[in-house]
């Protein structure tokens, strides 16, 4: 017998987006119903409000657009999968 540990997440399980600073650890949670991908993308261009470390995204870059699209899709996936028979789950890394 083999046991396999795995951790997965359903898009509908995502209840908030956490925005945080790797440098100082400051963070905030934005509930999914309040997530505005364009606002978060603009926020990402700024420096951390606490330690002033740049967030690392520059205006009008492909990376910033990728972030905005990822957030849009994350918000949309929870609604898109609601009531469907197809089960879509994403594996996530976890530490024991």
Q: Does 21 bind Zn ion (CB under 5 A)?
A: yes
- The nearest distance, CB 76 to Zn ion, in angstroms, is 30
Q: Does 47 bind Zn ion (CB under 5 A)?
A: no
Q: Considering beta carbons, is residue 9 or 51 the nearer one to Zn ion?
A: 51
Q: Which of residues 7, 15, 24, 58 is near Zn ion by CB under 5 A?
A: 24
3-state SS string for the chain: CCCCCCCEECHHHCCEEEEECCCCCCEEEEEHHHCCHHHHHHHHCCECCCCCCECCCCCCCHHHHHHHHHHHHHHHHHHHHCCCCCCCCEECCCCC
Q: Which of residues 7, 15, 51, 58 is near Zn ion by CB under 5 A?
A: 51
The site for Zn ion (CB under 5 A) is made up of 21, 23-24, 26, 48, 50-51
């Amino acid at each position: 017998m083999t046991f396999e540990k795995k951790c997965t997440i359903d898009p509908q399980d995502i209840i908030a987006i956490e925005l945080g600073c790797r440098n100082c650890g400051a963070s905030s949670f934005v509930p999914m119903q309040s997530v505005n991908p364009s606002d978060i993308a603009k926020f990402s261009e700024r420096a951390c409000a606490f330690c002033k470390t740049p967030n690392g995204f520059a205006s009008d870059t492909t990376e910033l657009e990728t972030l905005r699209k990822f957030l849009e899709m994350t918000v949309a996936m929870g609604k898109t999968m609601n009531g469907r028979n197809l089960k879509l789950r994403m594996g996530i890394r976890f530490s024991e």
